[in-house]
Structure formats: structure tokens, C-alpha cells
Structure 1
């Protein structure tokens, strides 16, 4: 049985249980305000050591500063997680960011990501946010996931997040 629960700092090592690998058939690029498809056709491996160190640091930073990490567990095994950042963004300071969101390869397309996303969306709304902000990887799977959960291209792109990950597709969800 899959359970969902808030994660704590002590569980940072469990992030290693996530297999983020996937076959990437195409990626998107923003051109003149529209998404353009670019064929990819390659396998993306799971996290290299330096990437997992960054993911773990972001996870810990958000928890320590009031963000929320939500995990999906099959027994004791972490099979998915999402992190709602603590800091309000946007000109009106009315957006909270989905900072991290992953479901391990063998558990995708079973509604786990949708449940995590929905709970983070509800939490953002309860904290007073009017929008969720998503800086999504440019893969078809990620962009399609967020679009199927109500996201649209962001009219106002967060400069800090864009500078950090300029290839990402920036999206928002009205709460």
C-alpha cells in the first residue's frame, strides 16, 4: 500500500532510492513565447553524485526554512517526492514554487505524481499562495505532466530561476 507523508531532514538519504532515469524522446524549447519540439531520442541515467548532492541540499534547505517535503512510500521505500519551497515569488509575492518533484521509474504513470502535486497545491493555497510556480525540466514527460495538472506557460518568468536553469519550461498553476 502506498502512503503519503511529510518528510523530515533525517530522511534526506532516502532520496537515493529514487531512480530518476527515463527515455527522453523529445524536449521543448521556448521560442518567441511558444513551445517548440526538438527530437531527443536518448536515455537519461539516474542522478550522478554531484546532482544528488545538490538535490539533497535543496531538500534540506527548504525543510529548514519552512518549506514542505512530501514523500510517497511503498512500505519503507521512497518511491516519489515533491518539495514546496518556502519563499513567495513573483512581483505580487503570490507564488510558491514546486522546487523538486520526482517519481521513481518503476512507479510512474500510476497517479503518484498527481497525488503529490495535488497535496502540494493544497498546501500552497493554505499558505496564501494564488499560484504555484514550476520551473520544469524541458522533457516531454515533465511538461506534459504539469500541463495535465492544470499548468500553463508563465507570462511572468522568475528571473532568478531562469538564470539558474535557462532551459527549463516555466509554468504556473492558478490556485
Structure 2
């Protein structure tokens, strides 16, 4: 990426996570096709919509990210020229029995900075952190958009062996994935 000197990565502290942190973050994503599981098989279907956050979404996000940090989880961010352009969060609890999952609760890259390797860097940091905490795999309840799933596949993710039912109930169209550490 050009101007790598302007790109910095670091963990976030709870007291700096606020609505203003996201002032230069562009969530916007135009989705045309999504993966859907029908009759036990994954297929690509037309499912056009625009994914964007409204103010209430930002308020929930700020609350969730603060909670992650305050409960000893990870929120790791990418800043370009001092502005937040990507982040990943991992919850501290290990679940799933033998699977030893740590929940990758979010990963988002600002629309203006996608396809520049930021997501990959954040994902690898999440994996490293979860492994240090004693997890065996990351669990990801991920957006079913074809582009989002292509990213996870490129990171070595596969369909989760054991589904987290809370994620399935909360986001029935998300894909439930895992990635070995």
C-alpha cells in the first residue's frame, strides 16, 4: 500500500472508543449476491441491498467494543493518517468444548480503504491474540455477501463444525465459520 508510513495499527482502550472515533469511517457496502444454505447445500443467490450503519448502529457498536475491552477482549484498529479505517474485535471467552473457539465479534474496513491488506493484517492479529489466550480456533459469524465470504475463504476459514446458536438466532443469514489458529 502506498504511504505505509501513514498507516498505523494498535489496540484500542475503552476510554477512547466513542462515536467520534468513527467520524471518518465509511461502513457502506453494496451487496448484490449472498451465500445461502438451502437443503444442506451452499448456493449463491441474488440478494441486493446496501449495508450501511445508522446512528443507532454506531451507538450499539461503541457500547459493544467498549464492553469487549473492559472484559479483557481485544479491539485492534488500523489508522490511516490518524483516522480510524479498520478494526477487529475478539471476545475473551473460550467456548465450544473441544473446538476451543474464541469469538471474532467484528471486523470492518472503511469502504475507502478496502483491498489494501488492512483486513488481512487485522485478521492475523486477532488470530495471534486468540492463540495466546489458549483458543484453538476463531469462530466467525460472518456477513454472507459473496465478497465478505471470499475474504474469509482466503484467510483459511471453513464452515464451523459446531454452530453458536446465539449467533444463528441473532443473524440467521450470516455464515458460521471457523479458522484454525
Give the TM bin, normalised by the shorter chain.
over 0.9
| 1:164 corresponds to 2:170 | yes
Cα deviation, 1:70-127, whole Å, max 9, x if unaligned, reads: 0000121000000011111213361101101100001000000000000110111111
| 1:17 Cα deviation from its structure 2 partner | 3.1
Aligned to 1:12: 17
| 1:16 Cα deviation from its structure 2 partner | 4.2
| 1:146 corresponds to 2:143 | no
The answer to whether the Cα contact below 8 Å between 2:31 and 2:49 also exists between their aligned partners in 1 is yes
Aligned to 2:3: none
Between 1:4-13 and 1:72-81, the stretch displaced more is: 4-13
Aligned partner of residue 166 in structure 1, secondary structure: coil
Inter-partner Cα distance in structure 1 for 2:31 and 2:76: 26
Match for 2:120 among 114, 120, 125?
A: 114
In structure 2, relative to structure 1, the CA distance for the partners of 1:153 and 1:98 (3 Å cut) is same
Inter-partner Cα distance in structure 2 for 1:86 and 1:16: 27
| 1:38 corresponds to 2:45 | yes
| 1:54 Cα deviation from its structure 2 partner | 1.5
Matches within 5 A, 1:84-123: 84-92=90-98, 94-123=100-129
How many pairs align? 174
The answer to whether the Cα contact below 8 Å between 1:15 and 1:56 also exists between their aligned partners in 2 is no
In structure 2, relative to structure 1, the CA distance for the partners of 1:135 and 1:16 (3 Å cut) is farther
The answer to whether the Cα contact below 8 Å between 2:99 and 2:137 also exists between their aligned partners in 1 is no
| 1:11 Cα deviation from its structure 2 partner | 2.3
User: Structure 1 runs of 4+ off > 4 angstroms?
Assistant: none
Residue segments in structure 2 that go unaligned for 5+ positions in a row: 1-5
Residue segments in structure 1 that go unaligned for 5+ positions in a row: none
